[in-house]
């Protein structure tokens, strides 16, 4: 395994300050709730108190008559084509059925939010309450209440005829799993369950909409993707896409949860009816009950190996909750589940299951953490049975270049082996762990690197500084990482690039800030724009220097031809004067879907209190392949942030529903996020195995690090207690119930 060679960069790999930092720490940055418009009014949403109910009647007359109320809307105000409205439209405002507690039923806009709250109380809704279905396996039963009467099971065999909650059955089959298990000396198996969890972003959803009399709709919103919001709003409202402009505000976290629209079309309808700008902001209970958490899951899995430690065969039966509409992350979970390992025989069955809960949404590597919770415990159990160090077993079976990847195609150059080796050689893993009720766990994880579409514009000022115009919401410092890549391409200082995030009318199409794609794919667009600019400047300089265009060279930020030479700044002054050319360029990419992939291996030490069942994290190390770390501080922050979210998922976080489908912990007082008091400093080890599909070797780093914590902590708890944990969260109550003699 040859060590990767790292090019010498001038800007990439440094740690400059972020360009938006001052505005954010001084409070000048505008977030979703900061937007103010003249004559603005305030919207509120009425939500279903029932998890499953037919809506017999909605009477809004009393609300409309309340002084100060300017508009009231229901699902009847949304356009419909065909037999029913789309799932997206139905999730914005219900039609004839409430599908989960918190489902939006109606909305009002008034001159202040207090009047709007009073108006909600005056809306009369007659419900016929139906029995809810809340568990993924129970929902799959033939006699379970049907959530959506139009859902039929789709599979390779076709589409079923009977209404069902199983929206899709799929899977993967490589090799011959039955034959593979016959060749195994050791086989371990188990059934693993996880609950719905929320992304936990600090800023609730917030938007402001203004529908002008000329038909132009402008939406200011906190979103991970202004262009997808534009597309969905246009589709749901059935208006031309050219009539919708989306202005992205700064964003207080998203982690996948701020990709879809929840309130933007509603605010737009209220604005159209009232003729005034409408601000619509969610409170925390609305966020928990009315937006998209990640799937609850049930996974039955087994894996087998020879006595010398060769993993031979693996099988998984994976059922994921989709919430009230089809579309869980089960396929992604299945593709990620065995990706860290080179296993010849793999069979996976997947089930996408509808239940009476909010429609699920992406959460940092959607589907993969639950899959890792299952497989990483089984690999750990095999290591114990075979008397092999768990990291050694991973090293023996690591995926590598040429291993069949999640989609069936072989991996290109990847860094799983390097991550495992770095973990084995880390000071953490080599250090002793002493004391009673303590355990050390390890786990590996994988996540995709998607490319999709990105577009940027750049323009040069006469003083040689460069404006970078892009359309991706900056969540984790992407203004800086993109500016750094442009500076590296042009051979200029980072401080000479001025990045800005603009609205959907001001730049070409950009897909979401998600999928570990922005620094990767938009970075490719930035590099392409920079190269286009360099070629343009070469031609202009050739004319100034009376040289052939091919005779002008560019290297290390300097143009040269014969005896003539000029730095980028000097060249800009030569060719971009008042009577000269305008220097600008664009860069666009459509970078595909599976374009690299990232791996991570985590090490965690825990101590379990035998009297309370509480698990304390003593030490935690993240080892992750970043390809090339553009801004190492931001890479480390992403590694740490993902690990912390995984720790919360493993130990405390869950949607806790009663039998009627009411979430009993819909606040940060009861939904237990980890705090600084729960955590040590997360140690990081950046591995750099350059991604061959990117000009600077970048891999996405934002999602991989949430995948291993669930399995790593479960393995550590087992080492501390001697009892395997098959259900999350491993809360003090659950640990205490499963372990009785820790002392």
- What is the residue extent of each domain of the chain? 32-130+204-251+258-290, 300-354+398-449+594-738, 453-590
Asked whether this chain's domains 300-354+398-449+594-738 and 453-590 adopt the same fold, the reply is yes
A 10 A CB-CB count for 246 gives 28
| Residue 705 pLDDT grade (very low, low, confident, very high; cuts 50, 70, 90) | very high
State whether residue 11 is helix, strand or coil: coil
Q: Closest Cα to residue 396, out of 421, 378, 433?
A: 421
Exposed e or buried b per residue across 93-106, where buried means at least 16 C-beta atoms within 10 angstroms of its C-beta: bbbebbbbbbbbbb
Tell me the pLDDT tens digit for each residue of 447-467: 999 999 999 999 999 889 999
Q: Is the pLDDT of residue 613 over 70?
A: yes
Is pLDDT of 580 > 90? no
| Tens-place pLDDT, residues 72-90 | 999 999 999 889 999 999 9
Q: Does domain 300-354+398-449+594-738 have CATH number 3.30.365.10?
A: yes
Pick the closest to residue 716 from 477, 434, 437 (CA basis): 437
Phi-psi region of 518 (alpha: psi -120 to 50; beta: other; left: phi over 0): alpha
| Helix/strand/coil percentages in the chain, nearest 5 | 30, 25, 45
Res 743: pLDDT: 47
* pTM (predicted TM-score): 0.97
> Do 360 and 329 meet the contact criterion of CB atoms below 8 Å apart?
yes
pLDDT averaged over every residue in the chain? 96
288 close to 309: Cβ distance less than 8 angstroms: no
SS3 category, 207: strand
One DSSP character per residue, 120-166 reads: HHH-EEEEEE------HHHHTSTTSPPS-TT---EETTEE-SS--SE
CB atoms within 10 A of CB 183: 15
Name the DSSP class of 398: B
CA nearest neighbour of 226 among 583, 532, 474: 474
Number of CB atoms found within 10 A of residue 648's CB: 23
Output the pLDDT for position 742: 47
Regarding the domain with residue range 32-130+204-251+258-290, which homologous superfamily does it belong to in the CATH classification? Aldehyde oxidase/xanthine dehydrogenase, a/b hammerhead (3.90.1170.50)
| Exposed e or buried b per residue across 570-609, where buried means at least 16 C-beta atoms within 10 angstroms of its C-beta | ebbbbbbeeeeeebbbbbbbebeebbbbbbbbbbbbbbbe
pLDDT of residue 549: 86
Assess whether the previous peptide bond of 729 is cis (omega < 30° from 0): yes
Separation of alpha carbons 487 and 494, rounded Å:
5
pLDDT at 398 over 70: yes
pLDDT for 660 beyond 50: yes
Angle at 194 between CA 193 and CA 195, to 5 degrees: 130
Contact 257, 9 (CB under 8 A): no
Radius of gyration (C-alpha) of the chain in whole angstroms: 27
Is-contact 588 525, C-beta < 8 A? yes
Topology, domain 453-590: Aldehyde Oxidoreductase; domain 4 (3.30.365)
Per-residue pLDDT, 604: 99
User: In the predicted model, is pLDDT for residue 172 greater than 60?
Assistant: yes
Give me the helix-helix angle, 523-545 and 478-490, nearest 10°.
30
Question: Is the pLDDT confidence value at 700 over 70?
Answer: yes
pLDDT digits (tens, 9 = 90+) for 89-122: 999 999 999 999 999 999 999 999 999 999 999 9
pLDDT of 2: 56
- The confidence band for 708, taking pLDDT boundaries of 50, 70 and 90, is very high
Report the range of poorest mean pLDDT among 126-130, 134-138, 575-579: 575-579
In terms of Cα–Cα distance, which of 147, 144, 187, 155 is closest to 52? 147
Tell me what pLDDT residue 579 has. 65
Residue whose entry in the numeric block shows the structure tokens 């801004």 = 631
Flag whether pLDDT at 161 surpasses 60.
yes
DSSP 8-class letter at 178: H
**Residues 144-152: contacts with CB within 8 Å, 24+ apart?**
145/52, 147/52, 147/99, 147/324, 147/354, 147/355, 147/356, 148/99, 148/324, 148/325, 148/354, 150/83, 150/84, 151/326, 151/354
Q: Can you point out the beta strands (E) in 212-362?
A: 217-221, 244-248, 278-281, 297-305, 311-323, 345-354
- pLDDT at 721 exceeding the cut of 80: yes
| Tokens at 160, concatenated | 């079923």
Contact (CB, 8 A) for 635 and 651: no
Give the total residue count for the chain. 743
Could you tell me which residues come within 8 angstroms of residue 442 by beta carbon, excluding any fewer than 6 positions away?
380, 390, 391, 394, 423, 429, 601, 602, 603, 604, 712, 715
Residue 464, SS3 per DSSP? coil
What does DSSP say about strands 158-159 and 154-155: parallel, antiparallel, or unpaired? antiparallel
Do 298 and 193 contact (CB within 8 A), yes or no? yes
In angstroms, the CA 150 to CA 324 distance is 12
Residue 566 CA to residue 568 CA, distance in Å, equals 6
Q: Can you tell me the distance from the alpha carbon of 365 to that of 710, in angstroms, rounded to the nearest whole number?
A: 13
Q: Are 340 and 446 in contact (CB under 8 A)?
A: yes
Per-residue model confidence (pLDDT) at position 582: 84
Fill in the DSSP letter of residue 410: B
Candidate from 346-355, 377-386, 406-415 with smallest mean pLDDT: 406-415
User: If we measure between CA atoms, which residue out of 561, 576, 325, 603 comes closest to residue 467?
Assistant: 576
**Residue 407 pLDDT grade (very low, low, confident, very high; cuts 50, 70, 90):** confident
> Pick from 445, 447, 436, 415: which is nearest to 603 by CA?
445
Residues 21-44: pLDDT tens digits? Answer: 999 999 999 999 999 999 999 999
Sheet holding 584-590, edge to edge: 497-501, 466-470, 453-460, 584-590
């Amino acid at each position: 395994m040859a060590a990767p060679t790292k090019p010498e960069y001038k800007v990439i790999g440094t740690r400059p300050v972020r360009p938006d930092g001052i505005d954010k720490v001084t409070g000048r940055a505008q977030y979703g709730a900061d937007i103010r418009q003249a004559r603005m009014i305030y919207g509120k949403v009425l939500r279903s108190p029932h998890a499953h109910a037919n809506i017999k009647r909605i009477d809004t007359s009393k609300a409309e008559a309340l002084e100060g109320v300017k508009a009231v809307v229901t699902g009847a105000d949304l356009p419909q084509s065909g037999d029913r409205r789309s799932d997206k439209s139905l999730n914005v405002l219900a039609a004839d059925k409430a599908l989960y507690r918190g489902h939006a039923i109606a909305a009002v806009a008034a001159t202040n939010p207090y009047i709007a709250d009073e108006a909600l109380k005056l809306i009369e809704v007659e419900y016929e309450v139906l029995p809810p279905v809340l568990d993924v396996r129970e929902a799959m039963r033939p006699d379970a209440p049907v959530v959506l009467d139009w859902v039929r099971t789709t599979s390779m065999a076709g589409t079923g005829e009977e209404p069902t909650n199983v929206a899709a059955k799929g899977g993967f089959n490589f090799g011959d799993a039955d034959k593979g298990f016959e060749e195994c000396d050791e086989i371990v198996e188990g059934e693993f369950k996880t609950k719905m969890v929320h992304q936990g972003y600090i800023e609730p959803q917030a938007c402001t909409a203004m529908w002008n009399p000329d038909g132009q709709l402008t939406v200011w919103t906190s979103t991970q993707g202004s262009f997808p919001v534009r597309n969905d709003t246009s589709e749901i409202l059935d208006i031309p896409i050219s009539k919708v402009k989306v202005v992205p505000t700064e964003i207080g976290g998203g982690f996948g949860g701020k990709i879809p629209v929840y309130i933007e079309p509603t605010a737009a309808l209220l604005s159209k009816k009232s003729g005034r700008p409408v601000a619509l902001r969610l409170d925390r209970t609305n966020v928990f009950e009315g937006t998209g958490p990640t799937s609850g899951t049930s996974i039955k899995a087994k894996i087998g190996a020879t006595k010398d430690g060769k993993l031979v065969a693996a099988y998984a039966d994976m059922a994921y909750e989709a919430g009230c509409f089809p579309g869980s992350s089960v396929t992604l979970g299945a593709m990620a589940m065995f990706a860290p390992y080179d296993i010849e025989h793999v069979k996976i069955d997947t089930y996408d299951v509808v239940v009476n809960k909010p429609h699920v949404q992406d959460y940092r590597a959607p589907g993969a953490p639950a899959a890792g919770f299952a497989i990483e415990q089984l690999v750990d159990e095999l290591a114990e049975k075979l008397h092999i160090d768990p990291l050694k077993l991973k090293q023996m079976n690591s995926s590598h270049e040429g291993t069949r990847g999640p989609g069936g195609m072989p991996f290109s150059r990847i860094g799983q082996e390097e991550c495992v080796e770095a973990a084995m050689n880390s000071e953490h893993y080599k250090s002793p762990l002493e004391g009673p009720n303590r355990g050390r766990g390890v786990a590996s994880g994988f996540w995709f690197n998607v490319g999709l579409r990105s577009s940027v514009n750049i323009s040069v000022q006469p003083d040689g500084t460069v404006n970078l115009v892009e359309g991706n919401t900056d969540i984790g410092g992407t203004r800086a990482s993109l500016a750094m890549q442009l500076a590296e391409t042009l051979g200029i200082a980072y401080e000479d690039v001025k990045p800005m995030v603009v609205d959907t009318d001001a730049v070409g199409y950009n897909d979401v800030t998600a999928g570990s794609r922005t620094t990767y794919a938009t970075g490719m667009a930035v590099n392409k724009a920079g190269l286009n600019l360099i070629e343009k400047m070469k031609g202009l300089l050739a004319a100034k220097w009376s040289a052939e265009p091919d005779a002008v060279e560019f290297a290390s930020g300097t143009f040269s031809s014969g005896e003539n030479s000029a730095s980028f700044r000097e060249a800009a002054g030569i060719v971009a004067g008042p009577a000269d050319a305008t220097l600008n360029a664009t860069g666009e990419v459509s970078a595909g879907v599976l374009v690299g992939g990232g791996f991570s291996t985590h090490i965690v030490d825990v101590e379990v209190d035998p009297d309370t069942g509480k698990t304390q994290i003593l030490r935690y190390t993240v080892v992750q392949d970043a390809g090339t770390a553009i801004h190492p501080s931001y890479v480390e922050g992403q590694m740490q942030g993902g690990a912390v979210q995984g720790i919360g998922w493993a130990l405390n976080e869950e949607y806790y529903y009663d039998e009627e489908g009411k979430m009993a912990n819909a606040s940060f007082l009861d939904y237990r996020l980890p705090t600084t008091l729960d955590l040590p400093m997360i140690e990081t080890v950046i591995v750099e195995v350059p991604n061959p599909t990117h000009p600077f070797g970048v891999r996405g780093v934002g999602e991989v690090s949430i995948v291993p914590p669930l399995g790593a902590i479960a393995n550590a708890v087992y080492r501390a207690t001697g009892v395997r944990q098959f259900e999350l969260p491993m809360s003090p109550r659950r640990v205490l119930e499963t372990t009785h003699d820790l002392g």
